Amino acid sequence: MSDREGTAVPLLAARDLVKAHGRTRALCGASVELHAGEILAVTGTSGSGKSTLLHCLAGIVRPDAGSVTYGGERFDQLPEKRLSELRRTEFGVVFQFGQLIPELTALDNVALPLLLAGTRRQDAQATAGEWLERFGVRGQEDLRPGELSGGQAQRVALARALITGPKVVFADEPTGALDSLASEQVMTALVHTARESGTAVLLITHDAQVAAYADREVRLSDGIVAPLEVTA
Ligand SMILES: Nc1ncnc2c1ncn2[C@@H]1O[C@H](COP(=O)(O)OP(=O)(O)OP(=O)(O)O)[C@@H](O)[C@H]1O
């Protein structure tokens, strides 16, 4: 994917996004690009529109105006069925809290996306075990989310987000509830795996140390994106 000047077409691009929640304008013309394999940090004060931007880019909510393209193709106006298929096959998401299913073991939480895609249970669980190992949580297979530490739970959530080989992982404050050591372990695991698999990451954080793991950082302010200096 490249234009006439040889510049890579962004994997994901938001142009002039506007989104209101009731009378609150969360995005007021935000534009941002994410390139294949890039790790992009989106920072900004509380309420500046970071989560809303992520939700629009991930196809979770539709913008009121502006456009979102994936691989150069507009997708914000796709019918819900196509959108959810795109989310399932191309994207992975990790949030700050509560995304694991409490009744399932760590192993079954990680295996779930493969089971939903039709993989046989035994194969899905074997692959899930490998992913738990990769994220340093081998030995915790049979524990339920409530029995894991916050950092372990986030690494299980990352394994689940990455197991299908997504092109983009959306991570909304993935270390927001963790101490600095657990935060470092989660970020190291995320960055290492994303680099290895060429997965792009859109990372929302208010923590400068976490943002420093990214290739690039943009800051949201009052629903508008302001570019910053390249950080790596
Ligand atoms: N579902 C909603 N209903 C009403 N208002 C909302 C909703 N979601 C977000 N908002 C408002 O939209 C604005 C942007 O919210 P958003 O969550 O995108 O910001 P944020 O930068 O991610 O904030 P934080 O860092 O505190 O999570 C805020 O004023 C927020 O109160």
Q: Is the pLDDT of residue 2 over 60?
A: no
Query: Model's pTM, two decimal places?
Result: 0.90
How confident is residue 227, by pLDDT bands cut at 50, 70 and 90?
low
pLDDT digits (tens, 9 = 90+) for 99-154: 899 999 999 999 999 998 899 999 999 999 999 998 888 889 999 999 998 889 98
Is the residue at 2 inside a domain?
Answer: no
Contacts (Cβ under 8 Å, ≥6 apart) of 158: 94, 135, 169, 171, 174, 186, 189, 190, 193
Best probe residue, ligand 1, of 52, 203, 206, 218 (max atoms within 8 Å of C-beta): 52
Is the residue at 31 inside a domain?
Answer: yes
Is the residue at 7 inside a domain?
Answer: no
How confident is residue 177, by pLDDT bands cut at 50, 70 and 90?
confident
Read off the CATH number of the domain in which 156 is found.
Answer: 3.40.50.300
The count of structural domains within the chain is 1
Is the residue at 212 inside a domain?
Answer: yes
Q: Is the pLDDT of residue 6 over 50?
A: no
Query: What's residue 162's pLDDT?
Result: 93
Higher-pLDDT residue of 232, 62: 62
Is the residue at 5 inside a domain?
Answer: no
- pLDDT, averaged across the chain: 90
Is the residue at 192 inside a domain?
Answer: yes
Is the residue at 116 inside a domain?
Answer: yes
DSSP 9: P
| Owning domain of residue 62 | 12-227
Query: What's residue 7's pLDDT?
Result: 61
C-alpha 20 – ligand 1 centre gap (Å): 10
CB distance 97 to ligand 1 below 6 Å:
no
